[in-house]
Structure 1
């Protein structure tokens, strides 16, 4: 049995279903079964996945939640190749994801992609702010 502490307004994805918590305080949820579970903070809306890392994250999420890994292997290979050539950090991300998938741990592969994508977004926003400072816009 899986025990999760869910904050007000947070979503949980269980297979193809979404559970939205409407409460004033943190709620403890117990989930029994074999469906894949993903908390909102590790999920990505596929419509907002614009970078290759975000697209890889969304694809891993789809493979995990919908159980269609073999169906997505061609796109997965394309994305991992595209991501790996971007930098040594990106190549290391792909290796980490591959290691988790070999161990049949899709959840940890998603977490690795989510954390890396978050770092990339932070770095991009810091770069934009630095450019604005250089241009005197701030």
Structure 2
């Protein structure tokens, strides 16, 4: 067991060790060290993004459904914004009244703002869920590291 102020000569994540390695070798070495010392294997897809296990994806299903619904509403209002432009142009060609232009602009702007608001809300929920999942995984990893010492 280490003392609190004692130097650790065997740092698992030392930056100096990886300067002489190429990126692939460094990733393989880190994965090997994690497997040996912590007992976990990170799942890395082809685009270097960490994927979540199915148990983590299935957490908070109601919140995920809410975020998906908000994204659906965002696309709906984006479609309404496009339709309001097309309808406004059609009305403007029939009668050149300026009130129709203002109505078209108002419908377009409010629909677009609604779409952005719904999309932003959905993305905030997804970010919060990712933060929760990352915090949970970090806590588990740190606990395993501390138990192995």
> Normalising to structure 2: TM-score of the pair?
0.30
Computing the radius of gyration from Cα coordinates, the structure with the larger value is: 2
Larger RCO (alpha carbons 8 Å, 6+ apart): 2
1 or 2, which has the higher helix percentage?
Answer: 2
> Normalising to structure 1: TM-score of the pair?
0.32
